[in-house]
């Protein structure tokens, strides 16, 4: 926390405010920026072409994986959308702002909500990607979520009305969750988890079966399972088994650099975690290709040997400046990994106990558990009623995430009587989905014309 923030906090601490006064502050913001104003879909005046954008965001990535990245973006408009957070951020920056900022996920599309395990073994669902996290207008996350639901629904064959309903219900659930959190004791709202109870509170009961199936798979998704599938013993040594192009060996010098960076990572953990991680020994390091938005970034898996045959697999993932940074008035991060970790700790109710950051060969990285009982519900496979429920669930989770950095009473004040907001953002989402489909078609044409390389898996 900077000196200015500390001074503000010191001045505010101990000054209690009536709930109604905080709600009124939120209503005053709504008077300045009405809900209906969020319907307008703006495109940045200096918006780059799709080819220029893709080429610019390929800079600094491993050249041999650029074609794979383009190939994954080529798969569908939804896949393209997953790799273009910065393109949308530029468009959102041209639109209205509510005047209320929160710690953003920065890339809150439907595939960035996932299941994972808490330290107590409970399976919860929450935002699980923070590469782009920064403080900014809360509505940017909500609009990105809403548009992603339309795109996911279209890919899954859901009717246009069903897609719009899912987007509209996500906004309605966001408002409902903010209102609910605004009425809770501070400690209770702060520690609210995205477990099965949220499904009922957000009226997403039809998703219980999907959640249950995903949770069952997530419980089995552990370091032990990764080790059983991807490693083997070679005498006294325990090694990853190469599976190109997804999992590959790396030069000894690079592996040494990764291992040498671990002490600085350990220093970023809380003291109790320090004692835990120091009990393990490093057995091997390998390179693994990661998902659509991060293809081409450096991503290492680190195999640690624990108690007896115990395996722990850590992931060191390259951290680059947020794609939102050019459009938000925030100072440059001193360490991009630290920015991501602090954003995750602020937004998630429960973060990975081994989440930290380090620097490898001059590049910033985050380090976390790999496959920490992680699971997903694929929004592109959901039928209409389930997509609707998924929208409600995700909308409620997003409101909970934002309420950790902005007073939920302020949010609730702005969002009150918000049927017009539901309709406005749903309309925006459909129009932005149309824009994304046009952008995707531009990508398809560029690849066919040989202007961009593409490797389709």
pLDDT band for position 208 (cuts 50, 70, 90): low
Residue 447 has pLDDT above 70, yes or no: yes
pLDDT: which is higher, 300 or 120: 300
Using the predicted structure, report yes or no on whether residue 1 has a pLDDT greater than 60: no
Helix segments in 113-207, DSSP class H: 138-155, 160-182, 186-190, 196-201
pLDDT interval class at 78 (50, 70, 90): very high
Confidence of residue 203 (pLDDT cuts 50, 70, 90): low
Predicted pLDDT at 51: 98
pLDDT attached to residue 124: 83
CA distance 131 to 339: 9
Rounded to the nearest integer, the mean pLDDT of the chain is 92
The partner residues of 240 in beta bridges, in order of sequence, read 231
Residues 6+ apart with CB under 8 A from 202: 173, 176, 177, 392, 393, 395, 396
- pLDDT higher than threshold 90 for residue 215: no
Segment 298-347, tens digit of pLDDT: 999 999 999 999 999 999 999 999 999 999 999 999 999 999 999 999 99
For 363-422, what is each residue's pLDDT tens digit? 999 999 998 788 889 999 999 999 999 999 999 999 999 999 999 999 999 999 999 999
pLDDT of 105 reads 97
- Using a pLDDT cut of 70, give the percent of the chain over it: 93
Cα–Cα separations (whole angstroms), residue 347 to 51, 126, 158, 190, 350 = 33, 9, 31, 10, 9
Sheet of 299-305: strand order equals: 247-248, 281-288, 299-305, 311-318, 363-369, 356-360
Question: In this predicted structure, which of 2-11, 17-26, 329-338 has the lowest mean pLDDT?
Answer: 2-11
Predicted confidence (pLDDT) per residue in 149-165, tens digit: 999 999 999 999 999 99
* Closest-CA residue to 377 (of 255, 242, 194, 246): 194
Interatomic CA distance for residues 267 and 270, integer angstroms: 8
- Asked if pLDDT for residue 293 goes beyond 90, the answer is no
Q: CB under 8 Å to 71, separation ≥6 — which residues?
A: 454, 455, 456, 457
Predicted model pTM: 0.93
């Amino acid at each position: 926390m900077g000196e200015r923030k500390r001074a503000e906090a010191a001045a505010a601490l101990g000054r209690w405010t009536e709930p109604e006064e905080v709600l009124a502050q939120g209503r005053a913001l709504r008077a300045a920026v009405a809900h209906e104003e969020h319907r307008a879909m703006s495109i940045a005046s200096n918006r780059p072409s799709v080819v220029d954008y893709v080429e610019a965001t390929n800079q600094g990535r491993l050249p041999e994986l650029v074609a794979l990245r383009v190939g994954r973006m080529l798969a569908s408009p939804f896949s393209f959308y997953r790799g273009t957070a910065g393109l949308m951020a530029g468009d959102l920056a041209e639109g209205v702002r509510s005047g209320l900022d929160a710690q953003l996920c920065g890339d809150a599309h439907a595939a960035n909500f996932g299941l994972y395990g808490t330290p107590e073994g409970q399976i919860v669902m929450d935002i699980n990607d923070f590469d782009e996290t920064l403080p900014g207008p809360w509505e940017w996350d909500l609009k990105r979520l809403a548009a992603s639901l339309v795109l996911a629904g279209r890919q899954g064959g859901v009717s246009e009305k069903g897609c719009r309903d899912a987007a509209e219900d996500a906004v309605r659930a966001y408002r409902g969750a903010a209102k609910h959190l605004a009425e809770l004791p501070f400690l209770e709202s702060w520690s609210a988890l995205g477990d099965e109870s949220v499904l009922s509170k957000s009226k997403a009961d039809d998703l219980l079966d999907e959640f249950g199936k995903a949770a069952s798979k997530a419980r089995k998704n552990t370091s032990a399972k990764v080790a059983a599938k991807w490693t083997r013993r070679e005498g006294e040594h325990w090694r990853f088994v190469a599976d190109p192009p997804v999992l590959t060996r790396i030069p000894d010098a690079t592996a040494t650099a990764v291992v040498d960076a671990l002490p600085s990572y350990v220093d970023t953990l809380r003291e109790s975690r320090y004692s835990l991680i120091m009990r393990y020994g490093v057995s091997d390091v390998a390179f693994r290709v990661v998902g659509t938005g991060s293809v081409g970034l450096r991503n290492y898996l680190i195999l640690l040997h624990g108690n007896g045959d115990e395996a722990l697999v850590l992931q060191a993932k390259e951290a680059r400046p947020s794609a939102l940074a050019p459009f938000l008035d925030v100072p440059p991060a001193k360490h991009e990994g630290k920015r991501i970790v602090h954003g995750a700790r602020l937004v998630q109710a429960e973060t990975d106990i081994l989440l930290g950051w380090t620097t490898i060969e001059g590049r910033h990285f985050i380090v976390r558990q790999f496959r920490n009982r992680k699971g997903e519900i694929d929004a592109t496979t959901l039928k209409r009623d389930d997509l609707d429920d998924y929208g409600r669930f995700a909308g409620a989770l997003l409101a909970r995430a934002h309420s950790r950095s902005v007073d939920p009473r302020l949010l609730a004040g702005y969002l009150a009587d918000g049927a017009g907001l539901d309709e406005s953002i749903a309309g925006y989402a459909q129009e932005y989905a149309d824009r994304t489909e046009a952008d995707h078609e531009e990508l398809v044409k560029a690849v066919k014309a040989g202007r961009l390389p593409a490797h389709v898996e």
